[in-house]
Amino acid sequence: MNDPGKVRNVALVGHRGTGKTSLFEALLYEAGVVTRLGSVADGTTVSDWDDEEKKREMSLSAGLAHVDRSGLTFNLIDTPGDSSFLADAFASLQVVETALMVINAVLGVEVQTERLWNRAVERGLARVLFCNMLDRERAEFTGAVHALKEAFGAQVVAVHLPVGAEHDLKGVVDLLSMKAYLYDGGKAKAGEIPADLADETAAARDKLVDAVASTDDALAEKYLMEEEITADELGRAFAAAVAAGQLFPVACGSATHQVGVDRLFELLALAPSPADAPVPGATGADGAAVELACDPAKPVTAFVFKTLADPFSGHVNVFRVFQGTLASDSQLAVGRDGHKERFGQLLKPMGKETKPVDEVAAGDIGAIAKLKDVVTGDTLCAEGNLVAFPPISFPAPLMSFAVTAKSKGEEDKVLTALKRLTEEDPMLDIHRDPQTGEMIIGGMSQVHVEVTVERMKRRFGTEVELKPPRVPYRETVKGTARAEGKHKKQTGGRGQFADTWMEVSPKPRGEGFEFVDKIVGGAIPRNFIPAVEKGIRAAMSDGFLAGYPVVDVQAKLYDGKYHPVDSSDMAFQIAGSIGFKAAVEKAQPVLLEPIMSVEITVPEENVGDIIGDLNSRRGRVLGTTPRGHANVIGAEVPMAEMLTYAPDLTSMTGGRGDYHMEFLRYEEVPAHLTQKIVEQAKKEREEAQKS
């Protein structure tokens, strides 16, 4: 396929449990790609092939497939809808022209649907909605469309109506063709609109024509003059309005019963092609804007939006070609740093299977294995034409765990496996805590981290243990105190001598450490002053109360003594450390804890419970702001109270809540909690010394 105008790139997105994977499977079945309709429950779908996906009966990463239908190539991407695994959904929206928003007809608009809709708005994508599960009890199409209009605006317009309801769902009425499609065993039979739906259909058709006419001046004039609008005129204006993001059509049906799936395909055929959509903004090596065109004949520019890590085949990079034609056995440069990569056999993904192809042209999606140094977010470019796209924006991890190898000697193996998995999942964060020395794995939830651990075990044969990380407390002082730091040691030969007097006082929060030299009269020679500061800085790493780093203090060296023979840099380092610790002990030392700025999005009915829970966590609620059907609660909460917040929020909101937090500042720990923290720290130190 070398004609970008005949390609449709579509990402299926929406809240978890809306039936995206079932719809993806139904589209493949309708197109004849699979001969049997797979099931999420029994793990037989094309896109959910990973063992963890089968076990949990949910999508954890994007599944890709391509189908040819009616002279068009559809690149379909089934994305996860759980908040913990949205990385692939965000990345997929970078490389498609159309977002197919899948809606649960029973539950309506849910929190992740709104989140993904907003991302599609940012990307300027066309949006098509499919109201799924209309065969379920309490499913109601009219109510769902009303909720969609309230959430996403008046441009939402129904293009289908259901024939029958709940378990008696029989088919759909297509308001564009004004025909009814009744289904028997998934096969559609076109016919006249049932008499009992005539009035409802006429009213819905009028709303559709009115909505389309409002986007086209010529059509609007004919509409106002009550002149006849032909099906071709309506179809052309409708397709243009959808491509321009002026209308958001709502289709309907049941993916598991293959109702309305063929009509959805016809609707997606009207969606914009890569040739119709502008290429995302890019910059050259000099940082200046670069204009790209979806032209197979121009120099190659492709964007890597997904990476698979496999211990045997290495990396598999999935990419979208925005310009030019990428051929097997070619060489391209990586926009990140200009290094060159040799391309072997190109592939077209179909779930876990791939099909070899000779080339992938502008507008199309392909894959390549065994590139040496290419990761998600990289741009592949023709040599001499380095281009970079804006980075994909991923949310920061919300929950962290300390991770240790189960077997001694496997630490390097664990680190290698974790690094490979972070290349596959950009919403994971792996780092070593500089204060505690612990290896930290951060993810969006406990489930997110547990899935990563299971993948490590299955793919790389490494097993690890998880435990909550230590909160990075700090220590400081509230008062001012003076103390002597004296180091004297005689061992028969040359001894060690240094005497310092210093004053320790608090500094404003966040200003760090300040060393002040007030030595006069040569009480301490100038060449030993830096050694005193070095000793103080070393002592600051191990505080008086619980061994946490000391911050926001001023240490003023104002007097001391030295010996012309026995004094040395090392002696003054030790004396400085002793004096600083002694002064801190007398200067009202206190413990500081990190305070997080938290933003929680929850349904309106859960606001009271969430605020009550935040208060119980020593949080300060700053206010609430309506956002669609949800409310956003702003709060400041100690990090120690947020370590296990993700599962608690899920429990309180039935999975409909979402939150984001980031570090704000340090504050003093309440006195009644300080002693507990100090005792726990001492206990951990004693256990570490025993081991």
Query: pLDDT tens digits for 172-183?
Result: 999 999 999 999
Structure confidence by residue, pLDDT tens digits, 207-250: 999 999 999 888 888 888 888 888 888 889 999 999 999 999 99
Please tell me the distance from the alpha carbon of residue 501 to that of residue 571, in angstroms, as a whole number.
14
Interacting residues of 292 by C-beta distance below 8 A, sequence separation 6+: 279, 282, 298, 301, 322, 323, 387
pLDDT digit string (tens) for 635-650? 999 989 988 787 888 8
Highest mean pLDDT among 32-36, 386-390, 492-496, 568-572: 568-572
Distance CA 348, CA 319 (A): 10
Buried b vs exposed e over 151-171: b needs ≥16 C-beta within 10 Å?
bbeebbbbbbbbbbeeeebbb
CB 160 within 8 A of CB 260: yes
Give the confidence band of 310 by pLDDT, cuts at 50, 70, 90: low
- Mention every residue, 6+ apart, whose C-beta is less than 8 A from residue 247: 155, 157, 211, 212, 215, 238, 241
pLDDT of 322 > 60? The answer is: yes
Domains and CATH numbers, the chain: 4-269 (3.40.50.300), 282-388 (2.40.30.10), 399-467 (3.30.70.870), 474-587 (3.30.230.10), 593-673 (3.30.70.240)
Q: What are the tokens at 591?
A: 């413990």
Alpha carbon distance 414, 455 (integer Å): 12
Q: DSSP code of 46?
A: S
Task: Decide if pLDDT at 1 tops 60.
Answer: no
Asked if 509 contacts 524 with a C-beta cutoff of 8 angstroms, the reply is no
- Sorting pLDDT into bands at 50, 70 and 90, what band is 688? low
Contact at 8 Å (CB) between 239 and 116?
no
**For residues 503-512, average pLDDT:** 94
More confident residue, 484 or 46: 484
Single-letter code of the amino acid located at 262: D
Give residue-wise pLDDT tens across range 60-112.
Answer: 899 999 999 989 999 999 999 988 888 999 999 999 999 999 999 988 888 78
Token pair for 348 = 């077209």
CA dihedral 579, 585, 591, 592 (to 10 degrees): -40
Retrieve residue 360's tokens: 């992938």
285 compared with 402, residue with greater pLDDT: 402
CA–CA dist 496, 484 (Å, integer): 16
Global confidence as pTM? 0.77
Residue pair 318/306 in contact by the 8 Å Cβ criterion? yes
* DSSP states of 57-82: TS--S-EEEEEEETTEEEEEEE---S
- Asked if 441 and 401 touch (Cβ cutoff 8 Å), the reply is yes
pLDDT at 31: 92
Q: What is the dihedral of CA 396, 402, 403, 408, to 10 degrees?
A: 150
Tokens describing residue 392:
């994909």
